[in-house]
Each structure stands twice: as structure tokens, then as C-alpha cells.
């Protein structure tokens, strides 16, 4: 055999290359896995039923984190309420109706920029507009609205992408058998893009649920002896509670901090997993 | 018994010109009549304007960027290009089947009932009857009657195309337009579709844009030859394919170009 065509050297190089790539990609997930394992080990003993169902006591150095859990739940529901309807409406408008002109280009650019704004800026914006100008006070309402504005770009862009992914031929067929544009959207486009839209919503809400800065000035309370009675009350929330017990309370037992981190992570991760499951199940079912 | 010797016109196209926004002139001064209850074939090389004409007849071109449209298309006593026409109703009367057999992402039953429900048919029994009728008309019933509730995407290519045909037929249209309906199909499926069209033409007017000249010649009761946006010649099928008057038509049929 002519040695010029001997490819064993090239194959050896390929093997080394692949090995290096594998090692590097393993390296990137390693810290995340290490952190997760560490937090689970440190936090799990603390997370008991009492921890999840009781109010904090002894200046938050003991007791549970029940009001923070419920508060984060309220804020997530509120954010969903204010961000999902306008988010989907905007996505439908941008993908199905909007002409390609200067106005829609400006909207798109604005959205990309919105997604890049630091979250503390949203917090200050919420303080100025919702808390002070609209006089909602530091409340669940004001915090939810602030989080909604932060979540909207995520929901809009993922929903728009999901809607655009529905083949154009479906729309043509639907129109050709006598559907209006809106009927086509309602009966074909939205049902087909729903898994993608839901995924986007969950990812957006999950980010909102974990944020501290936007609720810092708009609705989060240091400590409340009772549960919020209305949307105009302030609330405790997991990420802010974590910030408080990590920095503001002297003599804080480290176990409670790890327990709180674990609960917050569990909340956020379970939403993430839900989104992944919905997405992969829809993908398996889809036939186009 | 009345024997109709002179076929009636169902559509009359007058001086139709159309230009897309991207600058391509697609149709120039088309004058053509479509004969009722016959197979009207539009043939010619690609980009001749056949698809554009089909899409004008049920106003699907409304979805495309058309920036110049002149002329008239008369159907049922009205000019369908006028803005007063109910395009939804028009699309129910003039159905279309495309070259790629696209089924909607639903069951076989839902694919056909979709247009019926949009048209206001709600009665379950009525729907079932009409779906069965349409599937029988499209010679698909015997193959799918026991799996109407399975996804239409599982059908073979030929079955899908017959499903598309059934979907249009279910609306009881006066005209069915087929844009290269067998270009993606194997010879057996092609024969199936052709036989089926020959059978239904006694009830429904068919406008067919075949993807090859052989099919055009086989199927045409009437034929119109399109070349680069112009209608070169039209007449009865045997005349067009037997003794075309125009030299360009003759050369195309003989396979000199295209």
C-alpha cells in the first residue's frame, strides 16, 4: 500500500481531538454538578416538613421558610397573569400580522435590549412606576408587574419562534379550505406551537421566580409576622429571604441558608425539568 | 333527455394580467374560458404562470405580494377579483390541491371535517356522512375506514394526496384545481389519481396543471398552453395535442424545449 494514503495518522489526530473536546465539555458541567451535590448534601437534613410549613422564628435563626415559599408562589402566579396574555398576543402579532417595516424592527430591537437589561434596573423602574407613580406601594402587585416586564421578552421571543416554526403549508391549506386568518391561527398555528410557547413561558417564569433585584424595592419584605392578605400587601420571597439571611442576620445558622437554597433550587429546577419534558414529548409526537 | 352538445363556461377570464412585487411579471393578458364538468388542462414549461393563474382563481394570491392585478375573472355572475366578493365562500366553491400532499397535523377524520366545521356544519352524524362520502369519492375509504382516528401523517404519499383531494371534495365545490398533483407520487398512485379525476369530472369541473406533457395529453378535455406568462393557444385537448395551430405549442409537445 502506498504510504501516502495511509490514514492511520489522521485517525489518531481525530481521536486526540475528540478526547480533548469530551474532556472540555465535561469540565464545563462539572462545577454545576459539584455545586448541586454540595447543596443537596448540606441542605437536605434541614429541609423537613416543619421547615417548609412554619414561620421563621428567633429573628429567622430558627423555624421554617413557609411565608417565603408561598410568597414566591404568589409572585410567580402574578407574573404569569400579567406576562402570558400580552406576551402571546405580541408573539402572534409579530409573527403573523406585523409587516416588515421600521416599526416592527424597532419593536424587535427593543425586545432584544430589554432582555439584556440588568435586573436591578427593572427593580428601579418598578419602584418608580408601579410603587410610587401608580401608588401600588411595595406590594405583590407591583413586584409581579415588575417581574412581568422582565419576563415578557423571553415569552415573546420563544413564542414567536415556536409560531414561526409551524410550516407555512399548513396555513395555506387551512386558508384554501375556507378558514380566515384568525381561524387558521386559532385552530392550526397555536395548537401546533403550544408546546414551544409553554416552554418559553416556564423558562421566563422560572427566571422571574429566582430573581432578587427586581423585587427588592417593589414588593419583597424582610420579615412579616403574617401572610399577605391582598395583592397590595408586601410579601416574603425565597430569593430575597436568602439574600437577607445570608447578609443581614448575624449569627445565622449555615444549615438554614443551605436549606433555603435547596428549596429555591428545587422550585426553579422543577420548572426547568417540566419545560424540558413538555418540549421533548411534543417533539416526539410531532410529525412535520 | 337533453343532450348537451355545447359545454358551458363556468369561468371566464378576461384580460388578466398580474405582476408580483418582486418584479416578475407572471401573467400577461390572459383570455380563457374554463369549461364546466370537464378536465381543463393548463400546461407548459415551468414559470409559465399556471400556478399563478390557479391561485388567482380562488384568491390565494391575496396572501402573496401582488402589486399589480388587472382584468376580470367571471364566476357565477360576479367578478371574483372585485373587493366585494366573499373570498371565504369563493374558496369553498373552488377547491385546490397542491403538488406536495400536505395533511394537517390531525387525524384523518379531522383533516376532512376541518373545512366542514369551519363552514358551520356541527352535526356529528352529518359530518361523519360527509367525510365518508368524500373519502369514497377520493377512493380512499376502503383503505382507511377502520383508522379514521389515527394521525393522517401516517398515510403513504399517494394516500395523503387522495386525502387532500377528499378534503377539498368534502366541501362540495363546483371546481377543483390541481397543481401538479402527481409530481411527488409513484406511477401507481398517479394512475389512481388520474382515474379518479376521470370519474369525478362528470360532477365537478376540474382544472389540472400536470407536471408533464404526457399527463396533459392523457387527461385534457380542454387544454391551454402557457409560455412565460402568456397564453399561447387553447382549445379542445385532442386538437391541441393532435394538431396544434401554434408553432411554439407544437415544438413543446414534441419535446423540443421545456
pLDDT for the residue A112: 84
> A211-227: per-residue pLDDT in tens?
889 999 998 888 888 88
Secondary structure of residue A134 in the 3-state scheme: coil
Q: How far is B246 from chain A (nearest CA, A)?
A: 35
Query: Is residue A98 situated within a structural domain?
Result: yes
User: How many structural domains does chain A have?
Assistant: 1
DSSP-assigned letter for residue B25: E
Give B161's pLDDT tier (boundaries 50, 70, 90): very high
Query: Is residue A254 situated within a structural domain?
Result: no
Q: Which domain holds residue A152?
A: 71-237
Query: Is residue A256 situated within a structural domain?
Result: no
CB atoms within 10 A of CB A270: 12
DSSP-assigned letter for residue A181: H
Angle between helix axes A140-164 and A190-210 (nearest 10 degrees) is 140
Interface contact B89-A172, CB threshold 8 A: no
Interface contact B100-A169, CB threshold 8 A: yes
Comparison of pLDDT for B40 and A221, the residue scoring more: B40
Q: How much of chain B is helix, strand and coil, in % rounded to 5?
A: 40, 25, 35
Query: Is residue A282 situated within a structural domain?
Result: no
pTM: 0.83
CA closest to A166 among chain B residues? B105
Contact yes or no for A90/A98 (Cβ under 8 A)? no
> B73-93: per-residue pLDDT in tens?
999 889 999 989 999 999 999
The residue ranges of chain A whose pLDDT is under 50 are 1
CB pairs under 8 A between A and B: 61
Q: How far is B95 from chain A (nearest CA, A)?
A: 7
pLDDT for the residue A288: 67
CA closest to A99 among chain B residues? B65
Average of pLDDT values for B196-223?
Answer: 93
By Cβ distance, the residue of B92, B154, B164 closest to A178 is: B92
CB atoms within 10 A of CB A105: 11
Query: Is residue A156 situated within a structural domain?
Result: yes
Angle between helix axes A254-285 and A66-92 (nearest 10 degrees) is 30
ipTM of the complex model: 0.90
Interface contact B105-A286, CB threshold 8 A: yes
Contact yes or no for A210/A264 (Cβ under 8 A)? yes
By Cβ distance, the residue of B63, B119, B151 closest to A175 is: B63
Residue B37 gets the label, from left (phi > 0), alpha (psi -120 to 50) or beta, of left
Q: Is A162 within 8 Å of chain B by CB?
A: no
CB atoms within 10 A of CB B33: 18
> B125-144: per-residue pLDDT in tens?
999 999 999 999 999 999 99
Give B62's pLDDT tier (boundaries 50, 70, 90): confident
CATH number for position A210: 1.10.3720.10
Q: Which of A137, A126, A132 is CA-nearest to residue A231?
A: A137
Interface contact B118-A167, CB threshold 8 A: no
Contact yes or no for B93/B175 (Cβ under 8 A)? yes
Provide the residue count of chain A.
288
Alpha-carbon distance B58 to A220, whole Å? 59
Interface contact A177-B171, CB threshold 8 A: yes
pLDDT for the residue A2: 52
Q: How far is CA B5 from CA A100, B2, B36, B124, B145, in A?
A: 53, 9, 12, 42, 39
Tell me the chain B residues in contact with residue A183 when contact means C-beta distances shorter than 8 Å. Answer: 118
CA angle B116, B117, B121 (to 5 degrees): 80
By Cβ distance, the residue of B63, B98, B115 closest to A178 is: B115
Written as one string, the DSSP assignment of A7-56 is -HHHHHHHHHHHHHHHHHHHHHHHHHHHHHHHHHHHHTTT--HHHHHS-E
CA B219 to chain CA mean position, Å:
13
CB atoms within 10 A of CB A194: 16
> B230-248: per-residue pLDDT in tens?
999 999 999 999 999 999 9
Average pLDDT along chain B:
91
Query: Is residue A150 situated within a structural domain?
Result: yes
By Cβ distance, the residue of B91, B102, B118 closest to A169 is: B102
Alpha-carbon distance A53 to A48, whole Å? 9
pLDDT for the residue A249: 84
> A8-24: per-residue pLDDT in tens?
888 888 899 999 999 99
pLDDT for the residue B111: 95
- Run of H or E including B115: helix B108-118
Query: Is residue A202 situated within a structural domain?
Result: yes
pLDDT for the residue A50: 87
pLDDT for the residue A287: 65
pLDDT for the residue B25: 67
pLDDT for the residue B107: 93
Query: Is residue A182 situated within a structural domain?
Result: yes
Amino acid at each position: 500500500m502506498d504510504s501516502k494514503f495511509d490514514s492511520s495518522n489522521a485517525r489518531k489526530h481525530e481521536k486526540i481531538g475528540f478526547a480533548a473536546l469530551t474532556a472540555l465539555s465535561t469540565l464545563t458541567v462539572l462545577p454545576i454538578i459539584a455545586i448541586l451535590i454540595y447543596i443537596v448534601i448540606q441542605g437536605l437534613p434541614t429541609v423537613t416538613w416543619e421547615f417548609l410549613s412554619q414561620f421563621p422564628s428567633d429573628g429567622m435563626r430558627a423555624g421554617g421558610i413557609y411565608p417565603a415559599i408561598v410568597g414566591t408562589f404568589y409572585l410567580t402566579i402574578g407574573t404569569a397573569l400579567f406576562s402570558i396574555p400580552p406576551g402571546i398576543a405580541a408573539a402572534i402579532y409579530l409573527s403573523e400580522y406585523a409587516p416588515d417595516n421600521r416599526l416592527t424592527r424597532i419593536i424587535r430591537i427593543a425586545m432584544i435590549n430589554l432582555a439584556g437589561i440588568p435586573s436591578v434596573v427593572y427593580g428601579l423602574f418598578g419602584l418608580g412606576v408601579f410603587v410610587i407613580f401608580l401608588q401600588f406601594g411595595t406590594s405583590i402587585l407591583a413586584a409581579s408587574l415588575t417581574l412581568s416586564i422582565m419576563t415578557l421578552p423571553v415569552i415573546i421571543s420563544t413564542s414567536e419562534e415556536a409560531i414561526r416554526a409551524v410550516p407555512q403549508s399548513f396555513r395555506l391549506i387551512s386558508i384554501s379550505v375556507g378558514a380566515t386568518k384568525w381561524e387558521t391561527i386559532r385552530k392550526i398555528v397555536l395548537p401546533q406551537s403550544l408546546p414551544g410557547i409553554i416552554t418559553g413561558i416556564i423558562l421566563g417564569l422560572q427566571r422571574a421566580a429566582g430573581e432578587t433585584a427586581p423585587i427588592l424595592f417593589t414588593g419583597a419584605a424582610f420579615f412579616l409576622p403574617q401572610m399577605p392578605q391582598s395583592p397590595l400587601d408586601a410579601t416574603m420571597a425565597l430569593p430575597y429571604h436568602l439574600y437577607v439571611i445570608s447578609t443581614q442576620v448575624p449569627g445565622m445558622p449555615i444549615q438554614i441558608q443551605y436549606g433555603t437554597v435547596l428549596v429555591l433550587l428545587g422550585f426553579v429546577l422543577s420548572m426547568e425539568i417540566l419545560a424540558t419534558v413538555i418540549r421533548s414529548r411534543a417533539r416526539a409526537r410531532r410529525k412535520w | 333527455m337533453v343532450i348537451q352538445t355545447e359545454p358551458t363556461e363556468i369561468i371566464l377570464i378576461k384580460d388578466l394580467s398580474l405582476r408580483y412585487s418582486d418584479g416578475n411579471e407572471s401573467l400577461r393578458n390572459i383570455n380563457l374560458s374554463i369549461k364546466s364538468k370537464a378536465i381543463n388542462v393548463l400546461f407548459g414549461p415551468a414559470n409559465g404562470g399556471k400556478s399563478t393563474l390557479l391561485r388567482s382563481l380562488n384568491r390565494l394570491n391575496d396572501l402573496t405580494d401582488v402589486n399589480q392585478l388587472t382584468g376580470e375573472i367571471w364566476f357565477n355572475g360576479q367578478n371574483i377579483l372585485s373587493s366585494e366578493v366573499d373570498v371565504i365562500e369563493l374558496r369553498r366553491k373552488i377547491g385546490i390541491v397542491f403538488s406536495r400532499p400536505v395533511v394537517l397535523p390531525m387525524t384523518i377524520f379531522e383533516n376532512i371535517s376541518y373545512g366542514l366545521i369551519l363552514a358551520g356544519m356541527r352535526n356529528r352524524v352529518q359530518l361523519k356522512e360527509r367525510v365518508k362520502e368524500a373519502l369514497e369519492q377520493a377512493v380512499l375509504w376502503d383503505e382507511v375506514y377502520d383508522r379514521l382516528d389515527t394521525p393522517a401523517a401516517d398515510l403513504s404519499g399517494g394516500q395523503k394526496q387522495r386525502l387532500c383531494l377528499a378534503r377539498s371534495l368534502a366541501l362540495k365545490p363546483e371546481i377543483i384545481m390541481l397543481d401538479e398533483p402527481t409530481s411527488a407520487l409513484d406511477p401507481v398512485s398517479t394512475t389512481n389519481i388520474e382515474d379518479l379525476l376521470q370519474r369525478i369530472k362528470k360532477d365537478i369541473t376540474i382544472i389540472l396543471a400536470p407536471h408533464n406533457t404526457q399527463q396533459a395529453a392523457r387527461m385534457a378535455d380542454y387544454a391551454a398552453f402557457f409560455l412565460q406568462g402568456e397564453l399561447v393557444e387553447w382549445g379542445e385537448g385532442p386538437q391541441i395535442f393532435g394538431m396544434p395551430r401554434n408553432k411554439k405549442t407544437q415544438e413543446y409537445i414534441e419535446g423540443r424545449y421545456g
